[in-house]
Structure 1
Amino acid sequence: MKNSWWMRPLCIVFLGWLIATTSFAAAEKITVRDFTLYNQGQNKPLTATLHLDYQLTDYLRDSLLNGGTLRHEVRFNLVWHSDWWFNKSEKFASIISELKYHSLSRHYQVVRKDTGEHWNFSNLASALSHLGALESYKLPPLPANAYKNDTSLYMEATLAPKEPDSLPLGLSSLFSEDHALVSQGVLWALTP
């Protein structure tokens, strides 16, 4: 043990780094406040209710105020669990919305891409509150094998700067990936 004199300072440095990075990560995120699935029968579609809270980074807030668009996506994946190999995951449904700020009228606009609906808000807190609320959303019908196997529904939300149309596909994601917010995932077991 006399040769381990360097371990104590190394542990102190590591703990300091861990505390510092955890506190920064905790301040800027998407938090799932409520997620509920309603099942009205095996042959009927599931209905989801979801509430998210956002802690925007300075980069995302500045990007929005300077004319950028934030792309919000709520993804639902079906996950088939396996005891022998990796779990199989398949995209099931996705809801994409965009958040914009109009500097001339000084209002925020939320546009839901699948329905074409749009809402205007006078402040960012109200826009984010609406963006993070999903009430009684009917998911597509489940595949026939969803209840036969050990299957779950996985939900995750992201908020990131939208790629400009002028850049080649995927190029701006190399620079904006560090600025994306991702929620913790929620796994919901499907039972008949």
Structure 2
Amino acid sequence: MQRSIARFIIKPVLLIMLLTQHGFAEEGIFFKRHSIYQVDSINNVYLVSAQIDFQLTPYLEQALMNGVVLKTGIYFGLGEHRNWWWNKTDSLSSINYQLKYHALSRHFLLTRNDTNENWNYRSLSTALRNMGHIVNYKLPGLSMNTLDGNHYLFMGVRLSPSTLRLPLKIQSLFSDQYSLSSEVISWPLQ
């Protein structure tokens, strides 16, 4: 008797808790995990792996569903710490994607621009998960003087509509509703 009462009370409470947590998911771009490995010490070459979680704003999701192409740039760079001024940064590489919704087939089309690879997905969550899945991405070789303890590698992500009209371009500078940026992850070089 007590088990059945507990089952009727606990199950609905747990269900309500799960639904409210899902409904209040934070919007933005988040790194679930990230790692870097040096694979060639002679040429100073690194491999980067990461899982990036994309939580679109309602504006961006609605724009995608209405035919606006979303572009994503995952960028990698080399930084140098400076004591007297801002850190020096140089761009190393980037992975660029375009995400479209095809209304007739009800598929999400994901294109990687640097390799011209294309994928079709039935759900937006699957397309976003695969867009954020980076496995052993090879960075260009670095010079050996970057191992002085003053340099670091960094990675960040930006997502925005490919076309924004003029008022929204100005508003996108001050609001995360129209475009998203992640935190910047960095790894020291030694």
- TM-score computed with the length of structure 1 as normaliser: 0.78
* Distance in 1 separating the partners of 2:114 and 2:132: 16
SS of 1:173's equivalent in the other structure is helix
Paired residues for 1:14-33 under 5 Å: 27-33=26-32
Paired residues for 1:1-192 under 5 Å: 27-42=26-41, 43-148=43-148, 150-163=150-163, 173-177=169-173, 178=175, 179-191=178-190
CA distance 1:95–1:80, shift in 2 (3 Å): same
* Distance in 1 separating the partners of 2:86 and 2:113: 33
Q: Which is further off, 122-131 or 38-47? A: 38-47
2:125 partner amino acid: A
Aligned counterpart, 1:11:
none
2:70 partner amino acid: L
- TM-score computed with the length of structure 2 as normaliser: 0.79
* Distance in 1 separating the partners of 2:46 and 2:135: 12
Would the aligned equivalents of 1:80 and 1:149 in 2 still touch at CA under 8 Å? no
Would the aligned equivalents of 1:77 and 1:92 in 2 still touch at CA under 8 Å? yes
Would the aligned equivalents of 2:68 and 2:163 in 1 still touch at CA under 8 Å? no
* Distance in 1 separating the partners of 2:185 and 2:70: 23
Give CA deviations for 1:120-161 in whole Å, capped at 9, x if unaligned: 000001000001101111111113432235100111111111
Would the aligned equivalents of 2:148 and 2:189 in 1 still touch at CA under 8 Å? no
Give the superposition deviation at 1:185. Answer: 1.1
Would the aligned equivalents of 2:149 and 2:189 in 1 still touch at CA under 8 Å? no
Unaligned 5+ runs, structure 2: 1-24
* Distance in 1 separating the partners of 2:137 and 2:85: 33
SS of 2:40's equivalent in the other structure is coil
More strand by share: 2
* Distance in 1 separating the partners of 2:168 and 2:134: 29
1:47 partner amino acid: L
1:65 partner amino acid: M
Q: Which is further off, 140-149 or 179-188? A: 140-149
* Distance in 2 separating the partners of 1:78 and 1:44: 13
Identity of paired residues, percent? Answer: 35
